[in-house]
Chains A and B, each alone.
Chain A
Amino acid sequence: MKLPASILVALAVLVGSAGTALAIERFPPPDFESGHKLPTTQYPAPHAVAWEYVDVAALAVALALASALALRVRSRRALFVLMLASLAYFGFWRKGCVCPIGAIQNVTLALADPGYRVPLVVVAFFALPLGFTLVFGRSFCAAVCPLGALQDAVLVRPVRVPAWLEQGLRVLPYVYLGAAVLFAATGSAFVICQYDPFVAIFRLSGSLGMVLLGAAFLLVGLVVGRPYCRFLCPYGVLLGWLSRVSKWRVTITPAECVHCRLCEDACPFGAIQTPTEAPTTDERAEGRRRVGRLLVLLPVLVAVGGVVGWWLGPPMSRMHATVRLAERVWLEEEGKVEGDTDESQAFRRTGRPSEELYAKALGLRGRFAVGGAALGAWVGLVVGVKLLALSIRRTRADYEADRSTCLACGRCFAYCPVERDRLKKRATHG
């Protein structure tokens, strides 16, 4: 069935409109002069600590179930049901927080700033999916992550993203991961949470920009399988690494591949690799020369990235509130801007000298210059390694799920005649 463009447009309008309606507005209390006493503001009680244990337990159980359903039971339907349950609990019930993706930042900040104590529940959320992935592959992505679940639920008519475009876009999660680590380590911002496209939908509340961002991802997600997971998720980078070396992982067929090619288009995430033939001698020689050139190029890419990142450090430092405040105060003092802001007013009320603020800001800029250089070098390294990976020929005899990018969703199971035969035999023999 072909989706009319009008339906897509209508969906965009609908989801976007919901965002405007859900945005929370706040305003100050009225100025009563009649003697009326404002009632004491009631604050909701903090979540009971018990809920944190419940969350961790729920995560562990969900991960175990997802692993069993993907590897042992091999049931896409069961995985889908578990996915909806995870979406309901971790997404809409627990409002998408705490989540392992954002936990990257807490852990980073805890490592960079000894004064920051990361809650154990956050550590558990960060580590549990990684541990399960190391053993069972990406079962977290399959049916536990609420962000992935939401995108999976709206995938109506998947189209195949060309392999070349997929390769190019897959650089982005590494950049996002590097930037998130930099901003978290400097205490500037938790950008993963700040720009989480789905948290506003989970909470049915948020700024218009947040909801529109989520709506845009879901709109694209109608035809492109899990765009956030594949082309942006920084936690997916870590999971992909561990999945490469996991003890067990999802396979398309439960037994020997019969090369029927029925599964070729089964994966909406482009994670099925086709069989390859052994390269010729000439191809092998050309491949070796290319790898050699890229090995020479790799340190150059890292160095160039480092220089560009160092250069980008000062602009990036504006993510830090202290740097922004220092720049604002300086502009006001130099008469380069009119008026003042709430922040600059508040600073002046502290009575602290501007020079103290400038010194702090310059210190932070220095840290950002170093951090920016590290980020740039990291991006250069990622590009170089990606190029190398694309230059090393691997031979495959069968259709296989990509070790790194397979999300263990189980869609390919039903396409395999060997799997169907297995199910039929099981049904027959009980």
Chain B
Amino acid sequence: MADAHDATHDAPLAAAAWRGAVWTAAVAGAFSLVVAALLLANHVKGLALDPKDSQAVAELKARLSARPTDGSLKKELRAVDLRLRRDYFRRTAFASRGAWLLVGGLAVFLVALKAAADLRKALPMPQGRGPERGEEARSAARGRRWVTAAGTCLGVAAVVMAVGSARVRPPRPSEGHGVADVSYPSPEEIASNWPRFRGPGGLGVAASADAPMAWNGRTGEGIAWKTPVPLSAPNSPVVWGDHVFLSGATKTRREVYCFDASSGKLLWQKPVAGIPGSPAKPPEVMDATGHAASTVATDGRRVYAIFANGDLAAFEFAGRRVWARNLGKPDNSYGHASSLTTWRHLLLVLFDQADELAGKSKLIAFEGATGRVAWQTPRPVGSTWATPIVVRTPSGEQIATVGVPWVIAYDPATGRELWKADIMDGEVAPSPIFANGMVLVAQAHSIAAALRTDGRGDVTETAVAWTAEDGLPDTCSPLATGELFVLVTAEGLVTCYDARTGKMLWEHDYETHCLASPTLVGDRVYLVTFKGVTIVLAAAREFRELARAELGEQVAATPAFVGGRIYIRGTKHLFCIGKKP
């Protein structure tokens, strides 16, 4: 009787407690929901304001790198940076406090929910007569089936994983990469040909002192042959034996050409297409740069070509494509223009892109025979349009490169950085040269400088032998004899320095557009203007013009000087200047 009375008395209390627990759970749940929504909003907003990925800071840094002395830009950058960091820490603090509130809210929610569940918990009331006979056997049978199913699933999953995983298998040492051709031309072979942009070594110095001084493209006087080039481009002719190589491209077509050096006949014309990874949409390039600004290179075994979309291909002299690959669309505002060069059996590709903060630039060495990467080295510079050279120094061979802000030399065998000097600014297009044991560089809005090559590490303070600031070129690469250092600007100003001291000797302003780099032939300097006029100067300590000759066609490419002949690429034709066969 007393128990019944207690039960009657307790029922309203239990109901009230249950209602209280449910309400508490509801309030705590709602509170937690609000906190969670705020935290979520805070997090999503934070993703867009991450200081380390800030577009605003990146843009300001890029602007500052172009104008490093701009005080107002620095102030602006600091203010933006400070604001972003304040925002970051405010969000972090908010998230931390919010998380504790959320944990607290959830704890109350759970406790109340458990309390409500306990208050309405049904007492155990076993039904039936307990486990039936055979129930355990049936349960065990079902268990066996499911254990078998679990084992089967695991097995199938393992097989699917094994079969489906990409077959990426680095070669076993015994497999190697097949018998690759690692032969390369001798220095004598290289010197008797024109294997790359600006000839042997990329120095703009012809091996032969013999070259014509008079011709007329309009009348055909002195022209051995003249052949139309299918696709126009500003890259220069490369000559090896009886072969003259060029490349050309439009937005949609990329081609490599081989001409007969004797007759000018187009021997073959090969498309560069169907390369895996080649971008469907061509890159945006400046009209003057075009899609094939880079000069091809040859090692006497194959000819290599690179295009503005990152396509790189190797062809045998007979025209068969040996290998091809895409290096990724270059992030280059004017269009990729660095030319190729070879060293021993390696093909060297300077692939500078974006700005120095982007970390996209690199120097890559491919095995010429296979296209396999022998090494690649990241470069702390932004886009450049210059071409590297390989120089022989007393301490060994070095690859000399120019970028902003670093002039860097690398070990050609490994790609290891040897030395670097922080001296360049602006947009680097003129390529480096080498004379008197020094690397010579020049760039408009920056400086011309001679750098010693025996240092290691950061040699900014120790390697600069001399600097100069007049007549700095923005497109044409410089030229050096042992004694002279010649600069040509795009406006036709020719400036001559003493190559050992940096003292200016003379200057002469032709006031004409020049894109081709000057070339030394014997004691003469050949300079080709955009109008197609070749001006021959004396390589001397005083200015002296020796001759002029007209091609009758515009010229943006640097000519090749081989075997007493000059190969000039006009905007439409390839000309061979010399005696007719």
Contacts and interface: CB of A to CB of B under 8 A. Distances in A.
Contact of B416 (A13, A31, A351, A354): A351
Contacts of B56: none
Contact of A1 (B36, B85, B120, B150): B120
Interface in A215-248: none
Given A13-B33, A14-B102, A163-B139, A387 B161 contact: no
B15 interface: no
Interface in A1-45: 1, 3, 7, 10-11, 13-15, 17-18, 20-23, 25, 27-28, 30-31, 33-34
Contact of B131 (A274, A340, A359): A274
A10 B113 CA distance: 13
Interface in B206-255: none
Interface stretch (B375-383, B457-465, B490-498, B549-557): B375-383
A89 interface: no
A124 interface: no
B52 A28 contact: yes
Nearest to B51: A27
A55 interface: no
A381 to B, nearest CB: 11
Contacts of A355: 173
B371 interface: yes
A17 B40 contact: yes
B131 A275 contact: yes
A24 to B, nearest CB: 9
B568 interface: no
Interface stretch (B140-148, B260-268, B476-484, B509-517): B140-148
A204 interface: yes
Contacts of B109: 11
A426 B35 CA distance: 48
A266 to B, nearest CB: 7
A383 B148 contact: yes
Interface stretch (B42-50, B384-392, B525-533, B534-542): B42-50
Given A18-B39, A20-B43, A164-B139, A204 B133 contact: no
Interface in A121-165: 153-154, 156-157, 163-165
Interface string A293-335: 0000000010011001101101100100000001101111111
Contacts of B326: 335, 338
A332 B173 CA distance: 18
Contacts of A169: 150
Contacts of B145: 164
Given A21-B98, A27-B50, A7 B29 contact: yes
Q: Is chain B's interface secondary structure helix, strand, loop, or mixed overall?
A: helix
Given A17-B102, A21-B99, A335-B325, A348 B377 contact: yes
Contacts of A314: 162, 165, 169
A358 B99 contact: no
Contacts of A7: 29, 113
A402 interface: no
Interface stretch (A57-65, A109-117, A257-265): A257-265
B32 interface: yes
A171 B151 contact: yes
B396 interface: no
A273 B459 CA distance: 80
Nearest to B327: A338
Contact of B39 (A17, A175, A335): A17
A13 B131 contact: no
A164 B143 contact: yes
A81 to B, nearest CB: 14
Interface string A332-371: 1111001110000100110100110111011000000000
B46 A391 contact: no
B333 interface: no
B106 interface: yes
A17 B142 CA distance: 40
A204 B99 contact: yes
B378 A358 contact: no
Contacts of B126: 260-262, 264
B320 interface: no
Interface in A266-305: 266, 274-277, 279, 283, 301, 304-305
A171 B92 contact: no
B168 A330 contact: yes
Nearest to B128: A261
A167 B88 contact: no
Contacts of A338: 277, 326-328
Contacts of A333: 372-374
A358 B174 CA distance: 11
A393 interface: yes
B154 A312 contact: no
B180 interface: no
Contacts of B131: 274-276
B124 A262 contact: yes
Contact of B110 (A156, A339, A358): A156
Given A18-B36, A25-B46, A164 B142 contact: yes
Contacts, number: 216
B137 interface: yes
B560 to A, nearest CB: 30
A387 B172 contact: no
Contacts of B375: 348
Interface in B384-428: 414-416
Interface in B95-118: 95-96, 98-100, 102-103, 105-106, 109-110, 113-114, 116-117
Contacts of B16: none
A274 to B, nearest CB: 5
Nearest to A384: B151
B147 A14 contact: no
A168 interface: yes
A315 B33 CA distance: 42
Contact of B159 (A154, A172, A204, A311): A311
B117 A171 contact: no
Given A17-B102, A18-B39, A376-B158, A167 B130 contact: no
A308 B162 contact: yes
Contacts of A157: 117
B411 to A, nearest CB: 9
B37 interface: yes
Contacts of A349: 377-378
A145 B374 CA distance: 53
Nearest to B123: A262
Nearest to B324: A335
Of A312, A355, A379, most B-chain CB atoms within 10 Å? A312
Nearest to B161: A315
A359 B173 CA distance: 7
B107 to A, nearest CB: 9
Contacts of B143: 163-164, 167-168, 390
A17 B147 contact: no
A18 B103 contact: yes
Contacts of A259: 130
10 A-B pairs closest in CB distance = A168-B146, A167-B143, A27-B52, A383-B151, A164-B142, A17-B36, A335-B325, A21-B39, A333-B373, A261-B126
Given A17-B39, A262-B126, A311-B162, 8 more contacts: A11-B106, A18-B39, A25-B88, A31-B61, A204-B96, A315-B161, A358-B172, A380-B151
Interface of B: 29, 32-33, 35-37, 39-40, 42-43, 46, 50-52, 61, 74, 78, 81, 85, 88, 92, 95-96, 98-100, 102-103, 105-106, 109-110, 113-114, 116-117, 120, 124, 126, 130-131, 133, 136-137, 139-140, 142-151, 154-155, 158-159, 161-162, 165, 168-173, 277, 325-328, 360, 362, 371-378, 414-416
27 contacts: A10-B29, A14-B35, A14-B36, A20-B40, A21-B95, A22-B99, A25-B92, A156-B110, A156-B113, A163-B139, A168-B146, A263-B124, A264-B124, A301-B151, A304-B155, A311-B158, A314-B165, A329-B170, A330-B170, A334-B372, A335-B325, A340-B362, A358-B173, A362-B172, A376-B158, A380-B151, A393-B136
